[in-house]
Amino acid sequence: MKRASSYLVAGACALAAAMASQAQSAAPLPPPVPGATLDYEFFKTRVQPVFLTKREGHGRCYVCHVNNNARFHVVPLSPGATSWNEQQSRQNFQLIQRVAVPGVVDSPIVMHPLDEKAGGHAHHGGGQQFESQSDPAWQTLKAFVMGEKVASR
């Protein structure tokens, strides 16, 4: 039964990704805010874990975004790994820049997975992962596009 539900989730992800790919590829991204940047260390240590976290009632972002052809895609984890290695993280950082516009809170990576009732976009094939803007994982995505950096040690 567990395997059948995994196939069902994968099939739903593939269909949703195909539909989202068409919708997302047509929409141009807004320009970045002058002087705003995306921080790689913040991405690697705070954002990537969001994609691997299982949320009740939803599949992990990774499950769909590793197999899709949408604007946002992540690289596969190495066999047996539970997180990305340095090279994979750098690739993911390049890929996320397709949907994360520095300084723009309305970036797709922030607004697509947010529930419409909370101000999110209507067209996220994976459903609304975050019910409110107070969700800590959603706050992490927002902080990333707004340029938050990892505190220096």
Give yes or no for residue 9 having a pLDDT over 70. no
Contacts of 74 (CB under 8 A, 6+ apart): 51, 61, 62, 65, 66, 84, 92, 95
Phi, psi (degrees; rounded to nearest 5) at 25: -65, -25
Note the pTM of the prediction, 2 decimals.
Answer: 0.79
Give yes or no for residue 78 having a pLDDT over 90. yes
pLDDT given at position 129:
80
Residue 151 falls within a domain, yes or no?
no
Phi, psi (degrees; rounded to nearest 5) at 93: -65, -40
**Alpha-carbon distance 100 to 91, whole Å?**
14
Residue 18 falls within a domain, yes or no?
yes
Residue 15 falls within a domain, yes or no?
yes
Are residues 129 and 58 in contact, defined by beta-carbon separation less than 8 angstroms? yes
Q: Average per-residue pLDDT in the chain?
A: 82
Domain span at residue 90? 2-145
CA angle 125/99/97 to nearest 5° reads 145
Residue 66 falls within a domain, yes or no?
yes
Q: How many domains does the chain have?
A: 1
Residue 44 falls within a domain, yes or no?
yes
CA angle 53/68/107 to nearest 5° reads 70
Residue 152 falls within a domain, yes or no?
no
Closest CA to 63 of 78, 71, 79, 74: 74
Closest CA to 109 of 129, 91, 134, 89: 129
**Alpha-carbon distance 83 to 89, whole Å?**
9
Residue 12 falls within a domain, yes or no?
yes
pLDDT given at position 23:
45
Mean pLDDT of 22-36: 75
Closest CA to 110 of 153, 68, 144, 149: 144
Residue 7 falls within a domain, yes or no?
yes
Band (pLDDT 50/70/90 cuts) for residue 110 is very high
